């Protein structure tokens, strides 16, 4: 079985290689971490303490680990923690968010790569964030006695039929999972429906709610506001965040229209993919707007004074959107206007009490969307005209917009508690540490390969 999968992966990688090489040349993606991805040459662990290996695919999954790992360090300081990611942006955010932990690229699901990585880390438990059901990785972990857990597990209504179609192929992988902590009763039922043993599935809730900042005066929010020159700026702020191609044009059109009656309004655009920043800046200027840009491509420019700040700000950095939502009066959450994306995280601006707007395509966050809409704590906009009208009505009746935002904030705060339930699950899975687990100096060190040669 693993060799058949290896052959299938190899064929798929060969077919996709021209596209991957073109993207690597154009954007710089996929250029690093080859030894870790293809050969499993991840950092080697020297100690014998219980070790949790968290695999978080990209930025969103990495960030939701913040409350979990902070609480884990308080409850189980003797446990070691390492984090792997799949994407370069995910790894960048993991290194910045968890500077004291060892982070690395996860091996691709080739049998030799995952076996080598597991033998070097020797985790007590492999903890997969959300739904990362890689057959070779799970099989190799189970075969070496590593417990395997899925936390914050989720199967969407859209993806459920696909999983069910391949239920027979998934069965061997699902049987090797020791536990699944599902986000909701709905996801738990779907895990059971595709073949997961019912007594190994429990509902823990979504950790995403626990990690959300809800204080607009938080240090990171204040610091970012100063660095953008928005401290003391008059007028409301409209943040269009996690935008995909085409959504910036919709947001800019709505902003241009309502600004006629509200000239003090400022627009902050935060694209989902930072590599689009340069093209977006040129396009915004071609529409007749001066733009102040904070970018991953160069050092941040000096913060202008509020009077000198252009009305349009473009922020194509990584990991700052969660704080940017804290200065938004009006928030449009991207990835939602056009089919195929499933929406982005509308819970972050909701936690800050912003007036939240998003498109109709939000299948990735269906439970959260239903909760917000049931409480009339968010609004759905389907095109540029509806976004324009929503902005116009919020600006004309700020008290109503603020009440809607407070309703969203109240909904988010009421959902908290998943972190504690998930930690209890992991605690039972790993068990209490044995007597020799006090040997936990440096968590990981490289073996014969240096960190740079492994990249």
Considering the chain, what is the average pLDDT of its residues? 89
With CA atoms as reference, report the closest residue to 403 among 375, 431, 383: 375
pLDDT above 90 (res 1): no
Question: What are the tens digits of pLDDT across the range 244-267?
Answer: 999 999 999 999 999 999 999 999
pLDDT of the residue at 189: 96
CA distances in angstroms from 340 to 11, 85, 344, 375, listed in the order given: 26, 23, 12, 26
Task: Dig out the tokens for 21 from the structure.
Answer: 């090489």
Q: Could you tell me which of 246, 239, 317, 314 has the C-alpha nearest to residue 275?
A: 317
> Alpha-carbon distance 426 to 204, whole Å?
11
Burial of 270 (0-12, 13-18, 19+ CB in 10 A): buried
In this prediction, residue 234 carries a pLDDT of: 76
Q: Is the pLDDT of residue 447 over 80?
A: no
The β-bridge partners of 182 are: 153, 203
Nearest to 89 by CA among 214, 250, 274, 303: 274
Kindly tell me the sign of the dihedral angle through the C-alpha atoms of 325, 376, 421, 127.
negative
State yes or no: pLDDT of 345 exceeds 60.
yes
343, 336 in Cβ contact below 8 A?
yes
Contact 37, 116 (CB under 8 A): no
How much is the CA Rg of the chain, to the nearest whole Å?
Answer: 23
Name all domains of the chain by residue range, CATH numbers in brackets.
2-6+28-205+417-432 (3.40.50.11720), 219-414 (3.40.50.2000)
Q: What is the pLDDT of residues 71-120, one digit of tens each?
A: 999 999 999 999 999 998 899 999 999 999 999 999 999 999 999 999 99
CA-CA distance, 135 to 5, in Å (whole number)?
Answer: 8
Q: Return the exposure string of 276-289: e unless at least 16 CB atoms fall within 10 Å of the residue's CB, then b.
A: bbeebbebbeeeeb
Closest CA relative to residue 380, chosen from 394, 359, 362, 363:
359
Least confident among 251-255, 284-288, 432-436: 432-436
The pLDDT confidence band at residue 444, using thresholds 50, 70 and 90, is very low
**Is residue 289 pLDDT above 70, yes or no?**
yes
- The pLDDT value recorded for residue 454 is 39
**Mean pLDDT within 287-295:** 91
Give the 3-state DSSP-derived string for the chain, with helices as H, strands as E and coil as C.
Answer: CHHHHHHHHHHHHHHHHHHHHHHHHHHCCCCCCHHHHHHCCCCECCCCCCEEEEECCCHHHHHHHHHHHHHHHHHCCCCEEEEEECCHHHHHHHHHHCCCCEEEECCCCCHHHHHHHHHHHCCCEEEEECCCCCHHHHHHHHHCCCEEEEEEECCCCCCHHHHHHCHHHHHHHHHCCCEEEECCHHHHHHHHHCCCCHHHEEECCCHHHHCCCCCCCCHHHHHHHHHCCCCCCCCCEEEEEEECCCHHHHHHHHHHHHHCCCCCCEEEEEECCHHHHHHHHHHHHHCCCCEEEEECCCCCCCCCCHHHCCCEEEEECCCCHHHHHHHCCEEEECCCCCCCCCCCCCHHHHHCCCEEEECCCCHHHHHHHHHHHHCCCCEECCCHHHHHHHHHHHHHCHHHHHHHHHHHHHHHHHCCCHHHHHHHHHHHHHCCCCHHHHCCCCCCECCCCCHHHHC
Looking at per-residue pLDDT, the higher value among 285 and 158 belongs to: 285
Q: What is the pLDDT of residues 125-135, one digit of tens each?
A: 999 999 889 99
- pLDDT > 50? residue 242: yes
Q: Are 58 and 86 in contact (CB under 8 A)?
A: yes
The reported pLDDT for the residue numbered 441 is: 34
Q: Indicate which residues carry an active-site annotation.
A: 61
Per residue in 387-429, pLDDT (tens digit) is 999 999 999 999 999 999 999 999 999 999 999 999 999 999 9
pTM, entire model:
0.76
| Burial classification of residue 380, based on how many CB atoms lie within 10 Å of its CB (0-12 exposed, 13-18 middle, 19 or more buried) | middle
Beta carbons within 10 angstroms of residue 97's beta carbon? 17
pLDDT band at 239 (very low <50, low <70, confident <90, very high): very high
Span 292-333, pLDDT tens digits: 999 877 666 676 666 667 789 999 998 899 999 999 999 999
pLDDT surpassing 90 at residue 146: yes
Residue 442: its pLDDT value, please?
36
- What angle, 0 to 180 degrees and rounded to 10, lies between the N-to-C axes of helices 398-414 and 366-374? 130
Quote the CA–CA distance of 303 and 317 in Å, as a whole number.
Answer: 15
pLDDT of 158: 82
């Amino acid at each position: 079985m693993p060799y058949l999968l290896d052959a299938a992966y190899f064929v798929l990688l060969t077919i996709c290689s021209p596209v991957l090489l073109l993207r690597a040349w154009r954007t710089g993606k996929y250029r690093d971490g080859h030894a870790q991805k293809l050969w499993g040459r991840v950092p080697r662990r020297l100690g014998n303490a219980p070790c949790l290996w968290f695999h978080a695919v990209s930025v969103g999954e990495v960030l939701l680990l913040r409350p979990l790992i902070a609480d884990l360090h308080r409850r189980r300081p003797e446990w070691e923690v390492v984090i792997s990611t799949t994407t370069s942006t995910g790894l960048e955010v993991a290194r910045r968010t968890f500077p004291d932990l060892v982070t690395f690229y996860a091996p691709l699901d080739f049998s030799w790569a995952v076996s080598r990585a597991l033998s070097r880390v020797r985790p007590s438990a492999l903890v997969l964030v959300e739904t990362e059901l890689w057959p070779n990785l799970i099989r190799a972990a189970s075969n070496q006695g590593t417990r395997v857990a899925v936390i914050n597990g989720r199967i969407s209504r859209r993806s459920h039929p696909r999983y069910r179609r391949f239920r027979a192929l998934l069965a061997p992988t699902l049987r090797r999972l020791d536990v699944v902590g599902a986000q909701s009763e709905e996801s738990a039922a779907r895990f059971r429906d595709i073949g997961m043993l019912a007594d190994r599935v429990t509902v823990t809730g979504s950790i995403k709610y626990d990690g959300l900042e809800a204080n607009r005066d938080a240090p990171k929010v204040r610091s970012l506001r100063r660095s953008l020159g928005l401290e003391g700026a008059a007028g409301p702020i409209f943040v269009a965040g996690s935008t995909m191609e085409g959504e910036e044009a919709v947001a800019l059109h709505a902003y241009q229209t309502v600004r006629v009656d509200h000239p003090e309004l400022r627009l902050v655009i935060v694209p989902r993919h930072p590599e689009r920043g340069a093209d977006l800046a040129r396009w915004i200027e071609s529409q007749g707007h001066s733009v102040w840009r904070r970018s991953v491509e160069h050092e941040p420019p000096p913060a202008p004074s509020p009077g000198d700040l252009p009305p349009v700000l473009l922020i194509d950095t990584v990991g700052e959107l969660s704080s940017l939502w804290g200065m938004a009066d009006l928030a449009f959450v991207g990835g939602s206007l056009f089919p195929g994306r499933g929406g982005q995280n509308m819970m972050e601006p909701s936690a800050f009490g912003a007036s939240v707007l998003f498109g109709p395509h939000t299948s990735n966050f269906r439970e959260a969307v239903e909760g917000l809409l049931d409480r009339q704590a968010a609004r759905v906009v389907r095109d540029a005209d509806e976004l324009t009208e929503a902005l116009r009505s919020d600006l004309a009746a700020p008290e109503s917009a603020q009440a809607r935002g407070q309703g969203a904030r109240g909904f988010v705060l009421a959902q908290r508690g998943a972190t504690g339930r998930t930690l209890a699950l992991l605690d039972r899975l790993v068990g209490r540490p044995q007597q020799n687990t006090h040997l936990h100096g440096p968590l990981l060190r490289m073996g014969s390969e240096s960190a740079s040669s492994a990249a």
